[in-house]
Amino acid sequence: MLKFSYDQIVDKIKEEKGLSSEEIEQKVNEKISQLSDLISKEGAAHIIANQLGVKLFENVSAEKDLKIKEIPRGMSGISVLGKVIEVRDVVSFNKNGRSGRVVNFTIGDETGSIRIVAWDEPIINEIEKDMFKANDVVKIKNGYSRDNNGFVEVHLGNGAQIIVNPKGEKIGDVSQTTSKLGRKKIEEVKEGDFVEVYGTVVQLFEPRFFTVCTKCGKKVLEDGTCKEHGKVDVEKRGVINFFFDDGTGNIRVVGFGDVIQGLFSFNQEDMENYSLGLFDKWRSEALGKQLIIEGKVNNNEMFSRLEFVARKIKEASPAELLEEV
């Protein structure tokens, strides 16, 4: 959730911009009225701070093994530890002129479960030889995540690695809960929910971009080649984070790739020629926008907060939002 209370935001604005509490209060009330009372006072204060150029957040990053519920779609270089729940049979395929084999298995930890899909032939060969069995602990290294009907999977291609029963690593009770799509207020969502929420964008962070193989969606190497497909056509994709408020609470939303187009207008040329000036335009377009978002609620243990990984974003009119209040 948001780190700053309403009073803390007001104090920050006063400190940096020299406005009085009364002036800030007036701006906040005007914003709430403008957004049809569908935003909390705290959310409105975030919009005002952002419009005034007051930075409330600093970008933070860290590298570590992820818990299963922390894994978003579209990420590469994933390292995750889990207990084997189920191993499926190897399947051969011949599709679109491409043939090969694939096998999937499910692992879990105390935060949830996830399907692992292996495409790499050496890994498949080892799995066929009973590389591991149910209840073994495995560490997945250098996987990449993809979306499958709203649920995240980790895929293993060339360069991926599986370590069986790594020394000193243990997994306790495994959660295997799954969620169905439903409509909830932000104050009602919980970890693992696959839901639809309605609200307003109150804070937007600068996007990050990465280049992927057009065949498999994996991040390409520095020389522009794909580990799995060699020299290929590539495309640039983006990921963006923003805070979303529905008047009952707020939550950080993560959007990847084409999903972002529900937030603001952009095209491939924009991504290729990205600049801070363009971000200022996107931010101006996005702040205060009322949206309907479908996605999955994850618990980011690194920052002790729930996050919403968006699968679909579309703009909603105030009338649509009022029907749900």
3-state secondary structure 219-274: ECCCCCEECCCEECCEEEEEEEEEEEECCCCEEEEEEEHHHHHHCCCCCHHHHHCC
- pTM, to two decimals: 0.51
How far is the C-alpha of 72 from the C-alpha of 1, rounded, in Å? 17
Q: Which residues of 165-191 are buried (b: 16+ CB within 10 A; e: fewer)?
A: eeeeeebeebeeeebeeeebbbeebeb
Q: Does domain 186-324 have CATH number 2.40.30.30?
A: no
Tell me what pLDDT residue 176 has.
Answer: 58
For the chain, give every domain's residue range.
6-51, 68-164, 186-324
Which strand (E) or helix (H) includes residue 9?
A: helix 6-17
Domain 68-164 in CATH 3.40.50.10710: no
What the block records as the tokens of 251 is: 């939550």
Residue 209 to residue 97: CA distance in whole angstroms: 31
Report the distance separating Cα 160 and Cα 218, nearest Å.
Answer: 12
> How confident is the chain (325 residues) per 10-residue block, as mean pLDDT?
70 90 91 73 82 65 67 80 91 73 91 89 92 93 76 85 92 62 83 86 88 76 84 81 91 83 69 77 87 87 85 72 49
CA 2 – CA 199 distance, rounded (Å): 15
List all residues 6 or more positions away from 7 whose beta carbon is below 8 Å from its beta carbon: none
The pLDDT assigned to 141 comes to 92
The yes-or-no answer to whether 68-164 and 186-324 have a common fold is yes
